A and B are shown apart, each in its own frame.
Chain A
Amino acid sequence: MSEERLISKKDVLEKLRISYGQLYRWKRKGLIPEDWFIRQSTFTGQETFFPADKIIARIERIKEMKENLPLDELANLITSQVNEKLEVAFSRLRNLGWLDEQVVKICHINCGKEADKQTLPLADTLCVGVLSKLEKTARSEEIDLAKQTLDRAISKGLMERVRSERLFLYLLRKRLAAAGISAEISLVIISQEGAMFDPGIEVVQSVDLQGVLETIKLDFGHQDGSAGNARRSREEQEPSENG
Chain B
Amino acid sequence: MNDKGNSASISGAGTIGGGTYTRITISGAGKITGDIIAEELRISGAGKVQGRAEATQIVASGSAVFTEDVVSDEMRVSGSARVEGRAKVKEMKCSGTFKVAGGLSSEYIKTTGDLHVGGDVEAEIFKATGGFKIDGLLSADKVEVHIGGRCQAKEIGGARIEVERGGWKEKGIILDGLIKLFSGGGIAELRTAQIEGDEIRLEDTIADVVRGKEVEIGQGCHITLVEYSESLRIHPNAKVDKQTKI
Residues of chain A touching chain B, judged by Cβ–Cβ distance below 8 Å, are: 9-10, 14, 19-25, 27-28, 44-46, 238, 240
Smallest beta-carbon distance B162→chain A, Å: 13
Are A25 and B197 closer than 8 Å at their CB atoms? Answer: no
Binds A, one of B21-29, B35-43, B152-160, B170-178: B152-160
Are B225 and A46 closer than 8 Å at their CB atoms? Answer: no
Complex: A171 Cα to B99 Cα, angstroms: 58
Complex: A238 Cα to B90 Cα, angstroms: 10
The answer to whether B80 has its CB under 8 Å from any CB of chain A is: no
Q: A22-B159, A23-B157, A24-B158 are in contact. List 9 more A-B contacts (CB 8 A).
A: A10-B211, A20-B158, A20-B197, A21-B159, A21-B160, A28-B105, A46-B193, A238-B124, A240-B124
Partner of A44, one of B141, B159, B209: B209
Residue of B nearest to A240 (CB): B124
> Provided the pairs A45-B194, A238-B107, A238-B124 are in contact, do residues A20 and B157 lie with their beta carbons within 8 angstroms?
yes
List chain A residues, Cβ under 8 A from B157.
Answer: 20, 23-24
Are A19 and B209 closer than 8 Å at their CB atoms? Answer: no
The answer to whether B212 has its CB under 8 Å from any CB of chain A is: yes
Of all A-B residue pairs in the complex, the 6 with the closest CB atoms, nearest first, are A21-B159, A24-B157, A19-B198, A28-B122, A24-B139, A20-B196
Residues of chain B touching chain A, judged by Cβ–Cβ distance below 8 Å, are: 105, 107, 122, 124, 139-141, 157-160, 193-194, 196-198, 208-209, 211-213, 224-225, 227, 246
19 pairs from A and B in contact (CB 8 Å cutoff): A9-B196, A10-B211, A19-B159, A19-B198, A20-B212, A21-B141, A21-B158, A23-B157, A24-B139, A24-B141, A24-B157, A24-B159, A28-B105, A28-B122, A44-B225, A45-B194, A45-B209, A238-B124, A240-B124
Are A240 and B141 closer than 8 Å at their CB atoms? Answer: yes
List chain B residues, Cβ under 8 A from A10.
Answer: 211, 227, 246
Are A21 and B198 closer than 8 Å at their CB atoms? Answer: yes
Smallest beta-carbon distance B56→chain A, Å: 13
List chain A residues, Cβ under 8 A from B211.
Answer: 10, 20
List chain B residues, Cβ under 8 A from A240.
Answer: 124, 141
Complex: A14 Cα to B208 Cα, angstroms: 22
Complex: A168 Cα to B159 Cα, angstroms: 42
List chain A residues, Cβ under 8 A from B140.
Answer: 24
List chain A residues, Cβ under 8 A from B224.
Answer: 45
Smallest beta-carbon distance B215→chain A, Å: 11
Complex: A23 Cα to B137 Cα, angstroms: 14
Smallest beta-carbon distance A14→chain B, Å: 8
Complex: A28 Cα to B103 Cα, angstroms: 12
> Provided the pairs A27-B139, A45-B225 are in contact, do residues A21 and B124 lie with their beta carbons within 8 angstroms?
no
Partner of B198, one of A9, A20, A238: A20
Complex: A28 Cα to B122 Cα, angstroms: 7
Partner of A19, one of B124, B213, B227: B213
Are A45 and B208 closer than 8 Å at their CB atoms? Answer: yes
